[in-house]
Amino acid sequence: MSINVTKSYLPPMEEYAGYLAGIWERVYLTNAGPLVVELEKSLKEYLGVKHLFFVNNGTIALQIALKALDLKGEILTTPFSYVATTSSIVWEGSTPVFVDIDPETLCINPELLEAAITPQTVAIMATHVYGNPCNVEAIEAVAQRHGLRVIYDAAHAFGVMYKDMSVLNYGDVSTLSFHATKLFHTVEGGAIVTNDDDLAHRISYMRNFGHNGPEAFWGVGVNGKSSEFHAAMGLCVLPRVDELIRRRREISELYDALLADTPVRQPRLQEHTTRYNYSYYPTVMPSEPVLLAVRDALNAADVTPRRYFYPSLNTLEYVGHQPAPVSEDISTRALCLPLYYELTDEEVQLICSIIRSAL
């Protein structure tokens, strides 16, 4: 028996085949086809957002967001995230300036934002890490005081609600990833979400080469489109997301109970989170040697947790060294335990007993 940190959810094959039959009939494979249009509509309804653009991955979503806001300069960002949060800033020609994280929620610490602002600062790009919402109100207050744009990397925050509203409604733009490892997936994919009509207009052209009809162009663009095959997977998974979240919650609560009297800690959920999505089961171990001992003991039993997120992004060689002591410390101690729909209670019990014996 081999247990990985995650396992992609696959819907019944016949259901996906049903969509394939339609694709074969229409011979319409990509370029805003009917399934893409249907998925975008269903996602807007499910998430409760105004504009949503389905794109081919979560990284291009970040890149188009940066481009659509016309950002060039210093961007305040979190060192505790997946590498794409930082690399997309660098790729788009801006400079990431790292603002350390809150040691409890592991999201960017809004109290440290103002000290990092310079005349070159243009935006804040923060991650709702593990689906735990950032302190969106404090971030908005700083952004307003200093005329900064706000992008949320919401790759982990599908279905998360803050004060009974989708957390995706905060900031100028939020981006999602629908990669196979994410809670809701389309094999590869992502989305750009905004409430701003002008920005939505720019994004709609940018993701399709700037095409304005077959022979005219409206500004520079890129290929951010996705296909009917990817949309079909999304249409199969979306009706099951609530059930996936329900089971993930059960598993997470079992982990909580089985690890409660140990030194293994969990991040604190942001206040006013009215719906969490259980997209990961992150732990913070007491020290890096303990983390390594736990990991090795699990690996020996063919269980593969992941060091999300390691290394701290401020230590990447291409960003120049900038200190972020809290993130550097947490990243040496953070370990995500296996969490997926098909994981059984017995497997969780086994994982926890291995962890307890390695502590």
Instruction: Give the interface with ligand PLP as residue ranges (CB under 6 A).
Output: 57-59, 81-82, 84-85, 127, 153, 155-156, 177, 179, 190
b/e 23-60 (16+ beta carbons within 10 angstroms → b): beeeeeeeebbebbebbbebbeebbebebbbbbbbbbb
Closest to 203 (Cα-Cα) out of 337, 92, 304, 54? 54
Distance CA 49, CA 135 (A): 20
Bridge partners, 149 (sequence order)? 123
Contact of 134 with 107, CB cutoff 8 Å: yes
**Least separation in angstroms between CB 26 and ligand PLP:** 27
Q: Output the residue with the shortest Cβ distance to ligand PLP.
A: 58
| C-alpha neighbours within 13 Å on the C-beta side of residue 68 | 33
Closest to ligand PLP by CB, 172 vs 259, is: 172
The CA-CA-CA angle for residues 199, 201, 203, to 5°, reads: 70
CA 200/CA 192 separation, integer angstroms? 9
3-state secondary structure of 347: helix
Smallest separation, CB 14 to ligand PLP (Å) = 27
* Shortest CB 204 distance to ligand PLP, Å: 20
Between 59 and 166, CB nearer to ligand PLP: 59
Smallest distance, ligand PLP to C-beta of residue 57, A: 4
314 φ, ψ to 5°? -70, -10
| Shorter beta-carbon distance to ligand PLP: residue 74 or 153 | 153
Q: Decide whether 269 or 358 has the Cβ nearer to ligand PLP.
A: 269
Tokens 């806001």, residue located = 69
